[in-house]
Amino acid sequence: MKIKNLSKVLEGQPKYRYAQINKFLFQDYISDWDEASSLPKKLREELSAACPLEIKAEVFANESRQKTQRALVYLEDGESVETVLIRQKVDKNKDADYEPGEADKRGYRNTVCVSSQIGCPLGCTFCATGQLGFLRNLSSAEIVEQVVFWQRLLKAENSQEKVDNIVFMGMGEPFLNYPEFIKAVKFINNPETLNIGARRMSVSTAGLTEGIKKLAGEKLQINLAISLHAANDSLRQKLMPIAKKYALADIFKTVDDYIKKTGRRVMFEYLMIKGINDSSQDAENLARLMRKPLYLLNLIPYNDTGRFQTSSRETINDFKNILEKAGVSVTVRLSFGSDIAAACGQLHKNNSAAKSRR
Ligand code: SAH
Ligand code: SF4
């Protein structure tokens, strides 16, 4: 989709064209200008020539009982970026980010996981994207395009289908691309375009305090998640090199300020990696850090990318019990973790065929 020439084509057109076109592109999700039937034919032709709407992408198999689909979206420079759609049963009582709405009536909701960068410079040892290295930031348009792609696909299946939630948990660290990330959030939130409530969006960060501070000042109700993965700095530094720059104490201080300012809950993500961070001692240390109002903990079964192994179900249960007994709000949710987030990066890495098609 190439709409940066839009303003040039619309020069001399009445002002209301913009609103009309926004509705066609981001509410009706047209994929061909001919579908924009209320526009003059000549304008449609000009738009077709200057602003092609096609999104080149490849969808991969519908996996697992959770109905996860992944796609590589091809960008103008030939690079590709990974995005995931997950259709998930709504559970009012269990979903930490439950929001009432249309998804209730449907009984399940469509969550899209978007990437914010191609690769990631932070190099976390457990993360497929981190092991890819870093290529470049995505523009806000390229972030939005991932959502539009899934929305078109859903609409083609059934006109009642809609993207309900968006998580910035794909490839890359959103706060290293803050301006484009926040531009994308505001665009997606805009009632004249995609009109998805900020409360239905979540951003995950490796703990970049500058980004957390900036987000606190945005007056947006987006959910914040922090990738913790270890209850002490030395283990965290081994897993996440960036932890050398951001100590846990600094992250918690910044998060507490964020909570004071926004009154919003914060989700901490904790990967469960066999023999690395899943002992009962780890659980007790973690409990001491987590026992605060508005802190939520999400345990994520590690999705094996070759380097580490996933904790057993039993270990995860024991770990969770220790935390629960200590009064921590804790969930184990596949959807927030292995099915969505860990899916990202792996596709890129494993799919050499896709790479050779570039
Ligand atoms: N860079 C941001 C957002 C993208 S990663 C961040 O790190 O938070 C989104 C989530 O997926 C993070 O919590 C990350 O730690 C997690 N993740 C990465 N690799 C994973 C894997 N192999 N299995 C499960 N979760 C993984
Ligand atoms: Fe980057 Fe997040 Fe992966 Fe770490 S976990 S390498 S910050 S994408």
Choosing from 51, 113, 124, 344, the catalytic residue is 344
Give the model's pLDDT for residue 354.
Answer: 35
Give the model's pLDDT for residue 132.
Answer: 86
User: pLDDT tens across 52-85, in order?
Assistant: 999 999 998 665 555 788 899 999 999 999 999 9
Q: 77 is written with which tokens?
A: 């420079």
Nearest CA to ligand 2 atom 8: 172
Give mean pLDDT, residues 207-224.
Answer: 97
Choosing from 82, 142, 180, 269, the catalytic residue is 82
Identify whether 284 is a catalytic site residue: no
User: pLDDT tens across 145-198, in order?
Assistant: 999 999 999 999 888 889 999 999 999 999 999 999 999 999 999 999 999 999
Q: What one-character DSSP code corresponds to residue 358?
A: -
Report CA(342)–ligand 2 centroid distance (Å).
10
Q: Which residues line ligand 1 (CB under 6 A)?
A: 120, 126-127, 169, 173, 204-206, 227, 269, 271, 300, 302-303, 305, 337-338, 341-342
Identify whether 63 is a catalytic site residue: no
Give the model's pLDDT for residue 62.
Answer: 62
Asked if 90 and 104 count as a contact pair (C-beta separation under 8 A), the reply is yes
Angle 209-216/178-189 helices, nearest 10 degrees?
Answer: 30
Q: Give one DSSP letter per residue of 331-350, joined into a string.
A: EE-TTTTTTTTTHHHHHHHH
pTM of the model: 0.93
More confident residue, 249 or 342: 249
Q: Which residues line ligand 2 (CB under 6 A)?
A: 120, 122-124, 127, 129-130, 172-173, 206, 227
Query: What is the average pLDDT score of the chain?
Result: 89
Ligand nearest to the CA of 305: 1
Nearest CA to ligand 1 atom 11: 341
- Which range is least confidently modeled, 41-45, 104-108, 299-303? 104-108
Give the model's pLDDT for residue 351.
Answer: 44
Give the model's pLDDT for residue 65.
Answer: 52
What φ, ψ does residue 295 adopt, rounded to 5°?
A: -95, 130
Task: Give the integer Cα–Cα distance in Å for 204 and 200.
Answer: 13
